[in-house]
């Protein structure tokens, strides 16, 4: 299972178990009703505000859309469905929400300062506008013009109509395909979120089910926001491995014994000048991927620029050298294929060229310096300094080697 989906699977499962327990426990319903009713009104605006500050606009639109839908449910759908206006609002909300999830999922990264972003933000409030305009729309004999399919229920105890499937099924398939092609936490949320909304309207007669389901959605969205903040603070954006701040936190939490290796890409400035920064970024990502696969319990970090670090908790220098040699050799023997700038426009010629070994390939090497924490070398900054000195020795000795201090 992709990593982005697994990050939400456990909290989603816990929340759904809590849901199953909640709807079968009347005592819990009465005890936590006020908290459930108001938690979406508190959490969702908070998420939208922080996400706006982080310029994570898809998260902003998602929170606003959920808040608008929840307001409509609490304001207009807490009466009997036998009332014509209540049922129409219920029906229109079912038809609109899945489609609006698709709109946010497709165009959600547009800034609200652009006309596209303003349009998306306006669409997020569409459930409120439709609910407010429903009496006017009903005067045009909207109910009489709807086909019978709109009233045919999925089963007798549910108000969810067969027509709703025409919105839920393609929307769910589209969002699932988006996640499959490019898995992210928020795309996983849209898949889960639409599932929860479908269950909400399927069992809409259960007491406080809307408050509970939207509390689940708000909690999942809050988990995504926290993880986004964590990655912003501790994960290097280019290489997708932990950065220098994460290294400092890890070293502060380790015990009295560990080894630290400093790695540097050999002649990287010259490589950048020759092939350009785009290829240089590809090299850095490749190196990060290789060192992230290090054995021996090591954990990789990007220290800065073309310099990386591997931390080995509870290991001495002699124990980690073999693992560092494996990393060094894996990078030295790795060939990074470059696209030919004169690639033919015709797809057939392009395939023939790719199969004729005419593509360019480059390779790089790394130098590694390693030091360990000892009684004499107990300060983390001193360990880094010693590993850096060992790295300098490796470069002075000819590069592409491991040197210990």
Catalytic residues: 306
Closest residue by Cα to residue 130 from 187, 73, 52: 73
**369 closest CA partner among 338, 397, 337, 344:** 397
Distance CA 272, CA 278 (A): 8
Q: Are 244 and 304 in contact (CB under 8 A)?
A: yes
Question: Using CA atoms in the order 392, 397, 403, 405, what is the torsion angle rounded to 10 degrees?
Answer: -60
Tokens 């310029």: give the residue.
55
Crossing angle of helices 84-107 and 115-124, in 10° steps, is 150
Q: What backbone phi and psi angles, to 5 degrees, belong to 265?
A: -75, 125
Cβ(346)–Cβ(305) below 8 Å: no
| 105 contacts 175 by C-beta, under 8 angstroms | yes
8 A C-beta contact, residue 370 and residue 261 = yes
Query: Residue 264: enclosing H or E segment and its boundaries?
Result: strand 258-265
Can you state the percent helix, strand and coil of the chain, rounding each to 5? 65, 10, 25
CB 242 within 8 A of CB 302: yes
Query: CB–CB of 86/76 below 8 Å?
Result: yes
* Rounded CA Rg of the chain: 28
How far CA 226 is from CA of 72, 79, 109, 223, 373, in Å, comes to 27, 36, 19, 5, 33
Helix (H) or strand (E) holding 193: helix 185-202
């Amino acid at each position: 299972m992709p990593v982005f989906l697994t990050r939400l699977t456990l909290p989603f499962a816990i929340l759904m178990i809590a849901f199953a327990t909640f709807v079968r426990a009347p005592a819990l319903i009465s005890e936590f009703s006020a908290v459930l009713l108001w938690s979406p009104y508190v959490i969702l605006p908070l998420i939208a505000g922080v996400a706006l500050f982080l310029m994570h606009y898809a998260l902003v639109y998602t929170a606003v859309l959920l808040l608008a839908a929840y307001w409509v449910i609490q304001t207009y759908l807490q009466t009997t469905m036998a009332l014509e206006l209540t049922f129409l609002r219920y029906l229109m909300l079912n038809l609109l929400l899945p489609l609006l999830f698709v709109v946010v999922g497709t165009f959600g990264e547009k800034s609200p300062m652009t006309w596209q972003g303003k349009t998306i933000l306006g669409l997020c409030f569409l459930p409120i506008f439709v609910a407010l305009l429903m009496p006017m729309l009903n005067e045009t004999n909207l109910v009489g013009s709807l086909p019978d399919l709109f009233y045919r229920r999925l089963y007798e105890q549910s108000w969810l109509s067969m027509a709703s499937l025409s919105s839920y099924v393609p929307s769910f398939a589209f969002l699932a395909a988006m996640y499959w092609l490019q898995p992210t936490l928020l795309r996983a949320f849209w898949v889960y979120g639409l599932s929860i909304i479908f269950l909400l309207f399927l069992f809409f007669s259960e007491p406080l089910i809307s408050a509970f389901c939207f509390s689940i959605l708000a909690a999942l969205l809050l988990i995504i926001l926290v993880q986004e903040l964590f990655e912003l603070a501790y994960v290097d954006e280019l290489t997708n491995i932990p950065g220098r701040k994460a290294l400092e936190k890890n070293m502060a939490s380790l015990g009295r014994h560990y080894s630290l290796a400093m790695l540097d890409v050999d002649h990287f400035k010259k490589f950048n000048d020759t092939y350009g920064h785009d290829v240089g970024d590809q090299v850095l990502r490749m190196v990060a991927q290789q060192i992230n696969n290090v054995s021996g319990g090591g954990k990789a970090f990007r220290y800065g620029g073309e310099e990386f670090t591997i931390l080995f908790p509870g290991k001495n220098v002699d124990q980690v050298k073999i693992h560092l040699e494996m990393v060094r050799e894996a990078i030295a023997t790795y060939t990074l294929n470059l696209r030919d700038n004169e690639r033919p426009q015709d797809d057939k010629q392009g395939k023939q060229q790719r199969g004729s070994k005419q593509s360019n390939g480059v390779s790089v090497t790394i130098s590694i310096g390693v030091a360990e924490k000892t009684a004499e070398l107990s300060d983390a900054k001193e360990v880094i300094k010693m590993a850096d000195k060992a790295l300098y020795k490796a470069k002075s000795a000819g590069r592409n080697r491991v040197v210990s201090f």
